[in-house]
């Protein structure tokens, strides 16, 4: 995806270290987010999962990663949309 979009590739090239390959750059970013998710897990993620799935068979929790992935995607789309609107003066 990144390499197929020249503008995105240029931005990533500016952000990553010159001797860093794309895979290591992406892994580094993902590890930073993983730290944030661990903090969320320490705070109230279990409580939220219990409130969503509590009382249901334990097997339903297998869907949690998919729901969290979709939720993060929706959240980020909103953030990007709001950020773009703010930047353009709307």
Number of domains within the chain:
2
Domain housing 73: 56-90
Helix 46-53 / helix 64-87 crossing angle, nearest 10 deg: 110
Q: Determine the Cα–Cα distance for residues 67 and 87; give it in Å rounded to an integer.
A: 30
The CA distances from residue 85 to 11, 32, 73, 88, in Å, are 20, 27, 18, 5
Provide the pLDDT for residue 90. 54
Considering the domain architecture, whether residues 40 and 62 belong to the same structural domain is answered as no
Q: Are residues 51 and 62 in the same domain?
A: no
Residue 61 buriedness (CB in 10 A; 0-12 / 13-18 / 19+): middle
Residue 10 and residue 41 in one domain: yes
Q: Are residues 60 and 18 in the same domain?
A: no
| 30 and 1 housed in the same domain | yes
pLDDT for position 86? 64
With cut-offs at 50, 70 and 90, classify the pLDDT of residue 84: confident
Report the predicted TM-score, pTM, of the whole model to 2 decimal places.
0.54
More confident residue, 87 or 14: 14
Q: What confidence score (pLDDT) does residue 24 get?
A: 93
Query: What pLDDT digit, counting tens, does each position of 35-80 carry?
Result: 887 887 777 777 877 887 888 888 887 888 888 888 888 988 888 8
């Amino acid at each position: 995806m990144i390499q197929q979009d020249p503008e995105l590739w240029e931005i990533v090239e500016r952000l990553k270290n010159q001797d860093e390959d794309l895979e290591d750059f992406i892994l580094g970013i993902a590890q930073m987010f993983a730290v944030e998710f661990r903090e969320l897990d320490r705070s109230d993620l279990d409580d939220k999962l219990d409130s969503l799935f509590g009382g249901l068979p334990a097997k339903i929790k297998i869907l949690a990663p998919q729901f969290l992935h979709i939720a993060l995607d929706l959240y980020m789309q909103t953030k990007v949309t709001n950020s773009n609107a703010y930047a353009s003066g709307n």
